[in-house]
């Protein structure tokens, strides 16, 4: 009996050891006053803490400055090769020690040189000069920055200057304020509208005026805190802001955006970002249910047509970010059109995957519109009549067989 029990226990242990184990990375403790991590495609928030707390963003302010410059290029209102001369205000800023700057000299520079320097070196003199080029004065440019922030849904952002400097150094009154949420929104907008920006932010250095300008992002390839897949974006440092960083990393077919605000040192902002990215890439995965323009067969039920079910086509890919090893989440189809006839290419419904997660403002649970793939005609009168008779017959049969109407033992109506 004892040997039989031991044999049973051995089999049980072997069986349970073969079962799949669901493991999740431990949620990290992030030493930053505010932070957020989001999926760049869906806007899903993967982790956050006090992400709606408005804080000085330092040079992360330049994300809006450089977005507006890039938009001017796209709109043909500005050329990359346009040459501009620094104003006296900019030259004074360029000569101020202790600030990130090229420094610019009293000569002409191209818009591209200034754009790259503002991103890579975080050059304040280059950012202010670009603001003057776009709007005439930095003050007018700040007005444009705030107007654009409102149209982007960045409701907790207020710009006071184009560089991100504290007021004492910017020579303009007021303090720039942004939330981690708003910064994440802006980063997503930038890389979606102008993906070529990552070609600039991922550069470790550039040369200007015979000097090599090093990228302030030390998580890039071959840098001190290099992280696989890091494409850069924007650092920020002032006395009021502390050490900040908004980063973009791409790995395993997923693009993650992180923002950390008011960390304690240059090393700390990158160390905390690494914690976020390690957790994000190890704990979540992207799932593409359907591609854009994909034909989905036999899911569209139509009454009154020759066939019972028809095909549909998606207008966008259905991509969701889910925890790794999570239970399967089947797609949910919802149809607004239920009866024939249906025009070819008509909008007939949606498909989505249920998700209880949190999304950035302006984003929602991913879904795709569905369109018919052919004209669906009304079935012939003969077919519809036959179906009506069959349905009527089924209803009578069901009614007769209901226990409340028939006493099956005595075979008579109660």
Which residues carry a binding-site annotation? 234
Answer whether 35's CB lies under 8 Å from 180's CB. Answer: yes
59 is catalytic: yes
Q: Which residue positions form the known binding site for substrate?
A: 234
62 is catalytic: yes
**Phi/psi at 164 (nearest 5 deg)?**
100, 0
The CA-to-CA distance between both ends of the chain, in Å, stands at 60
The residues pairing with 278 across neighbouring beta strands, listed in sequence order, are none
- Paired tokens of 172: 């303009």
H-run or E-run covering 236:
strand 230-238
Give dist(CA 307, CA 322) in Å, integer: 36
101: which residues sit within 8 A by CB, 6+ positions away?
93, 94, 121, 123, 124, 125, 126
Give dist(CA 404, CA 390) in Å, integer: 23
Catalytic residue, candidates 34, 44, 62, 202: 62
147: which residues sit within 8 A by CB, 6+ positions away?
none
Catalytic residue, candidates 34, 44, 121, 122: 122
- Residue 347: half-sphere exposure toward Cβ, Cα within 13 Å: 5
356: which residues sit within 8 A by CB, 6+ positions away?
none
Give dist(CA 254, CA 285) in Å, integer: 7
What percent of the residues of the chain are helix, what percent strand, and what percent coil, each to the nearest 5?
35, 25, 40
The sign one gets for the Cα dihedral 82, 88, 90, 92 is: positive
Give dist(CA 305, CA 152) in Å, integer: 45
140-150 burial, b if ≥16 CB within 10 A, otherwise e?
ebbebbeebbe
In order, the DSSP letters of 13-55 are HHHHHTS-----PPPPPP-SSEEEEEETTT-BEEEEESTT--B
Catalytic residue, candidates 59, 163, 216, 372: 59
The residues pairing with 254 across neighbouring beta strands, listed in sequence order, are 251
395 is catalytic: no
Which residues carry out catalysis?
59, 62, 122
């Amino acid at each position: 009996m004892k040997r039989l029990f031991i044999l049973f226990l051995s089999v049980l242990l072997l069986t349970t050891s073969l079962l799949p184990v669901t493991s999740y990375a431990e949620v990290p403790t992030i030493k930053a006053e505010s932070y957020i991590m989001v999926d760049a495609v869906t806007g899903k928030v993967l982790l956050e803490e006090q992400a709606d707390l408005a804080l000085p963003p330092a040079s992360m302010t330049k994300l809006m400055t450089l977005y507006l410059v890039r938009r001017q290029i796209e709109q043909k209102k500005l050329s990359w090769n346009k040459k501009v001369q620094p104003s006296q205000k900019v030259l004074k800023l360029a000569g101020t020690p202790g600030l990130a700057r090229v420094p610019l000299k009293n000569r002409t520079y191209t818009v591209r040189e200034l754009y790259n320097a503002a991103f890579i070196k975080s050059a304040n003199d280059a950012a202010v000069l670009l603001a003057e080029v776009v709007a005439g004065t930095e003050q007018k440019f700040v007005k444009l920055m705030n107007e654009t922030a409102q149209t982007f849904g960045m409701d907790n952002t207020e710009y006071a200057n184009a560089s991100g400097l504290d007021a004492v150094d910017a020579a303009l009154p007021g303090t720039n304020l942004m939330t981690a949420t708003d910064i994440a929104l802006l980063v997503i907008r930038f890389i979606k509208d102008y993906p070529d920006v990552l070609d600039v932010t991922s550069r470790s250095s550039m040369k200007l005026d015979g000097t090599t300008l090093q990228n302030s992002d030390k998580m890039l390839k071959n840098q001190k805190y290099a992280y696989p897949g890091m494409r850069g974006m924007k650092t920020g440092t002032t006395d009021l802001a502390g050490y900040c960083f908004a980063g973009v990393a791409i790995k395993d077919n997923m693009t993650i955006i992180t923002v950390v605000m008011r960390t304690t040192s240059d090393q700390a902002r990158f160390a905390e970002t690494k914690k976020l990215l390690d957790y994000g890439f190890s704990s979540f995965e992207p799932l593409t249910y359907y591609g854009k323009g994909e034909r989905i067969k036999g899911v569209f039920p139509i009454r009154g047509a020759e066939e019972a079910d028809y095909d549909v086509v998606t207008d966008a890919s259905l991509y969701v970010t889910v925890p790794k090893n999570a239970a399967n989440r089947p797609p949910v189809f919802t149809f607004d059109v239920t009866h024939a006839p249906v025009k070819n290419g008509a909008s007939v419904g949606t498909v989505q995957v249920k998700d209880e997660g949190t999304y950035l403002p302006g984003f929602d649970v991913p879904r795709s519109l569905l369109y018919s793939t052919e004209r669906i005609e009304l079935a012939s009168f003969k077919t519809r009549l036959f179906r009506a008779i069959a349905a009527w017959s089924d209803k009578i049969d069901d009614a007769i067989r209901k226990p409340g109407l028939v006493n099956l033992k005595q075979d008579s109506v109660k």
